[in-house]
């Protein structure tokens, strides 16, 4: 089974948009029904219609309102087409219909722990991205090429344990630790 990125449910933005659309549509529907029944339009609708009739299209308030509406629309479209939950790395679950993920900070902690466990590594800094794991290790007493080879081998096993999909590339930098 191929694992894909998890999608955020985004219940709060969807609920707020639905509530706003419900309120505005309900008020307009009530006002249109009242006008059709022979009553005058509501005061807010007369005010808005009068303001829109008096203002030109290049007015600052009209342009500001249009910019806010366009930004809100683009934001909602972006929320709809992006998966969200970018801090989670999807995991492979072979033969099982499960959706599993691990937090990037947890994966970084595990990679850092395995890196520091290599002989000759004093400290390590790890950044886990969606496609790449970057490791900067400070070597203490061994030769840098041997430390780099050991760290690379340890990280190959660790990335295999993580089971991320797609399998992230590992970039290792080893330098001599500063004396201090």
Look at residues 86, 89, 94 and name the one whose alpha carbon lies nearest to residue 106.
89
Give me the pLDDT at residue 5, please: 66
Cα distance between residue 148 and residue 139, in whole Å: 9
**Which H or E run includes 103?**
strand 100-103
Alpha helices per DSSP H over the chain: 11-36, 43-54, 60-81, 104-116, 144-162
Cα distance between residue 152 and residue 29, in whole Å: 66
Cα distance between residue 49 and residue 68, in whole Å: 19
pTM over 0.85: no
Q: What is the pLDDT along the chain (180 residues), one digit of tens a residue?
A: 455 666 667 777 778 888 998 998 998 888 888 888 888 888 888 888 888 788 888 989 889 989 999 998 898 788 777 777 777 877 777 777 777 788 889 989 999 999 999 999 999 999 998 789 999 999 988 899 999 999 999 998 888 777 666 778 899 999 998 876
Cα distance between residue 31 and residue 103, in whole Å: 50
Look at residues 125, 101, 102 and name the one whose alpha carbon lies nearest to residue 113.
125
């Amino acid at each position: 089974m191929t694992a894909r990125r998890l999608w955020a449910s985004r219940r709060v933005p969807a609920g707020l948009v639905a509530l706003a659309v419900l309120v505005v549509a309900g008020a307009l529907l009530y006002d249109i029904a009242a006008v059709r029944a022979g009553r005058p339009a509501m005061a807010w609708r007369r005010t808005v219609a009068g303001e829109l009739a008096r203002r030109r299209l290049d007015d600052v308030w009209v342009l500001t309102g249009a910019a806010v509406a366009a930004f809100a629309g683009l934001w909602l479209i972006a929320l709809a087409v992006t998966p969200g939950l970018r801090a989670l790395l999807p995991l492979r679950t072979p033969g099982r219909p499960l959706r599993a993920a691990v937090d990037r900070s947890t994966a970084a902690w595990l990679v850092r722990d395995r890196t520091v466990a290599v002989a000759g590594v004093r400290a390590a800094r790890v950044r886990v991205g969606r496609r790449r794991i970057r490791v900067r290790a400070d070597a203490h007493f061994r030769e840098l090429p041997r430390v780099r080879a050991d760290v690379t081998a340890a990280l190959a096993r660790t990335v295999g344990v993580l089971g991320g999909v797609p399998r992230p590339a590992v970039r290792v930098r080893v330098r001599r630790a500063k004396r201090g």
